[in-house]
Amino acid sequence: MTPVVLARRPIPRPVRWGIVAAVAGLAACLFGVLRLPQALFAAYLAVYLFWLGIALGSLAVLMLHHLVGGGWGFLIRRTLEAAAGTLPLMAILFLPIAAGMPEIYSWARPGAADDPILRAKSGYLNGPFFIARAGVYFAVWILLAVLLDRASGKQDRTGDPETTKRLKTLSGPGLVVYGLTVSFAAVDWGMSLEPHWVSTIYGMTFMVGQALSALAFATFMVSRLAGRPPVSHAATPQRLHDLGNLLLAFVMLWAYVAFAQYLLIWSANLPEEVPWYLTRTRAAWKGAALFLVVFHFAAPFLFLLSRDMKRTAERAGAIAALVLSARLVDYVWLVVPPFAAAGAHPVWLVPAAGATVGGAWVALFARNLRRRELLPPRDPRFAEAVSPS
């Protein structure tokens, strides 16, 4: 077997590009907040949830890997760690959402108490409690990411098997806490955009979507790094096949959860639930819904059924990029339509907000990725990553 060469791979250009994009996007956002504040905040929330989804999904998939092992995880572990390491930045980038609550959420506006439904929910949906809950969510997520990162760094230095056990011990409860906090955050930041509407499966759609975003992003990164050692030695067709199978599983799971929610609301046909889908399946949003059916499920599903498509880095990366693009459209489809129906047109500000959040995120991610070797060389299970099987 060809010896594995471990080396640090500096990635300066993504950092520079990310900073330039963030600055340019920020300039456009400053213009937008003066002219179309509600539109800008809606667009910002959509792209913010997209990038936060990659970070949180990476944290969840990382903990899953520590629990179950498997050679596929070593191939993407550094990407997952670097993405989870962006959570402190996402906490800072949440501040515009907190500041723009009255523009985003109807329950935070003056006169909300005149609505009997909002008045009944005011004990939960109110500004101070909303911000306090967000603080708890980020504290928990960042703590999990820091503890995992420190243990991983110790493992790199010492190779102590006890550190591997610690990573596994931390990941079990961590996944439970992740599920609870993300479910509540999904209700706070997404479902409460239309507080008259309720879905008990909404939190699950966010969790599945985040895991799918993380796997797609990690697969795309593997395709970009597959020609560089040491990733080139570990990115075997079998490992790419494993990643493709995981991506396929979560594509199907997302479709199942999304369709289950639609089926339940359609069959119940309740006046307080149906308008949520009517808003998102009329006018231009009907095209977005069809886009999701075709490019978020049907096309990736068919591509990932092919053994050859999954075992080639370039093709796997192209499928992952398609899934990531569809994930962004999904977040826009979830967040933007009610604002457009109210007369705002935030879809035109999505690129500006996306450049701001995405540029800063990519710059920090690239910086995080440079901190360690691209594969974990002293993990006792490291041989699985370079095994030809």
| Residue-level pLDDT at 70 | 81
| C-alpha of 308 from chain center | 27
For the chain, residues with pLDDT lower than 70 are: 1-12, 346, 383-389
373 burial level (CB within 10 Å; 0-12, 13-18, 19+)? middle
* CA distances, 101 to each of 39, 105, 131, 192, 305 (Å): 13, 6, 10, 11, 43
Share of the chain above pLDDT 70, in %: 95
3-class DSSP state of 131: helix
Predicted TM-score (pTM) of the model is 0.94
**CA angle at 290 for the pair 286 and 291, rounded to the nearest 5°:** 115
| Residue-level pLDDT at 384 | 58
How far apart, in whole angstroms, are the C-alpha atoms of residue 335 and residue 83?
A: 23
114 burial level (CB within 10 Å; 0-12, 13-18, 19+)? exposed
How does pLDDT run across 18-58, given as a tens digit for each residue?
888 888 888 888 887 878 888 899 999 999 999 999 999 99
**What are the structural domain ranges in the chain?**
12-375
DSSP string, 157-207: HH--HHHHHHHHHHHHHHHHHHHHHHHHHHHHHTGGGSTT---TTHHHHHH
| Residue-level pLDDT at 5 | 47
How does pLDDT run across 111-144, given as a tens digit for each residue?
888 999 999 999 999 999 999 999 999 999 999 9
Query: Cis omega before residue 230 (within 30°)?
Result: yes
How far apart, in whole angstroms, are the C-alpha atoms of residue 347 and residue 147?
A: 38
How far apart, in whole angstroms, are the C-alpha atoms of residue 217 and residue 84?
A: 12
- Cβ atoms of 376 and 154 closer than 8 Å: no
For tokens 């079998």, what's the residue? 238
Q: At what angle do helices 71-84 and 127-158 cross, to 10 degrees?
A: 130
Give the largest CA-CA distance in the chain. 72
| Residue-level pLDDT at 271 | 87
- Cβ atoms of 60 and 217 closer than 8 Å: no
How far apart, in whole angstroms, are the C-alpha atoms of residue 55 and residue 177?
A: 16
| Residue-level pLDDT at 3 | 46
